[in-house]
Amino acid sequence: MQKNNPDSFKAKDTLTVGAQDYTIFSLPKAAAKLGDISRFPFCQKILLENLLRHQDGDYLTAEQIGRVVEEIRSHTEDSDIAFRPARVLMQDFTGVPAVVDLAAMRDATVKAGGDAQKVNPLSPVDLVIDHSVMVDAYASDKAFDLNVKLEMQRNRERYEFL
């Protein structure tokens, strides 16, 4: 959710689970201003909820959200949708090139006199490094420690890079 979300469609609500309160953006509440959205496909409802949650009045405005809703109704869907996932999960074969691109953008920012710390993904990213783990030792109290030590030696460059 955007910190400065104007909640133009009055969709903001609270969901209580046990003793914990969660801020949500209710599609039924938004429908009071957007019109009937009950027959929208589920995937488009997910996108709409995401737009409501991330509205900031600048990058994502009420007009843009209204236009997306009208295009869904008319089956034209010509507008870009400013989808902002809560989290991005990347495997190493796609994530490593993204990390390299991020490093290059940060270097270019520094060369242009900017602050590299301002170049970050808009959504949290988890990078999963998948590789085979070899078992050299087993059936011993020291097996785990030895296997971890050998794993680190074999993949030192990969771990240092990441």
- The percentage of residues in the chain with a pLDDT greater than 70, rounded to a whole number, is 98
Instruction: Name the token pair of 118.
Output: 């301002």
- How far lies 118's CA from each of 81, 91, 97, 114, 123, in Å? 24, 24, 20, 8, 14
Domain boundaries defined on the chain? 12-74
Categorize the per-residue pLDDT at 132 as very low, low, confident or very high, splitting at 50, 70 and 90. Answer: confident
What pLDDT, in 10s, does the model give residues 57-79? 999 999 999 999 999 999 998 88
Q: What is the pTM for the complete model shown?
A: 0.73
Window from 9-13, 82-86, 91-95, 118-122 with minimum mean pLDDT: 91-95
